[in-house]
């Protein structure tokens, strides 16, 4: 299984919206509606932001939303805030033997 492809970096000004893409294959993103997104601040534990493509865990801001079309999933952050500056990783379920394949990671910078 190859890593899912994400842009290395995305930036935006406070208040703007940004979208991070996550491109997989028909064996992972394209087959399962089980795409999740994680936020990672330096030295901190990863935080689940989106699961099952577009579901938000309790406590996650509704500024975060997810979608999927074919082999590509996306994370949109609306009303960008300074605290959103972090690394973001997508993840897709890929079957029982190798269950998870992760994205290459995207660094979000708030200008």
Partner 1 sequence: EVQLVESGGGLVQPGGSLRLSCAASGFSFSDDWMSWVRQAPGKGLEWVARIKQDGSAKYYVDSVKGRFTISRDNAENSLYLQMNSLRAEDTAVYFCARDLAVSGTIDFWGQGTLVTVSS
What residues line the site for partner 1 (CB under 8 A)? Answer: 3, 32, 34, 36, 38, 43-48, 51-52, 57, 89, 91, 93, 96-105
Which of residues 43 and 69 has its CB atom nearest to partner 1 in the complex?
Answer: 43
Which of residues 46 and 72 has its CB atom nearest to partner 1 in the complex?
Answer: 46
Tokens linked to 111: 């200008």
Helical H segments across the chain, by residue range = none
**End-to-end distance of the chain based on CA atoms, in angstroms?**
35
CB 20, CB 10: distance < 8 Å: yes
Least distance between partner 1 and beta carbon 15 (Å): 29
């Amino acid at each position: 299984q190859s890593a899912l492809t994400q842009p290395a970096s995305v930036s935006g000004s406070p208040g703007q919206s940004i979208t991070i893409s996550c491109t997989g294959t028909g064996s992972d993103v394209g087959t399962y509606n089980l795409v999740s997104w994680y936020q990672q601040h330096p030295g901190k534990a990863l935080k689940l932001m989106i699961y099952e493509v577009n579901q938000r865990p309790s406590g996650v801001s509704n500024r975060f939303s997810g979608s999927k079309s074919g082999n590509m999933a996306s994370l949109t952050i609306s009303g960008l805030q300074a605290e959103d500056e972090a690394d973001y990783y997508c993840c897709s379920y890929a079957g029982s033997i190798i269950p998870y394949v992760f994205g290459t990671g995207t660094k979000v910078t708030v200008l």
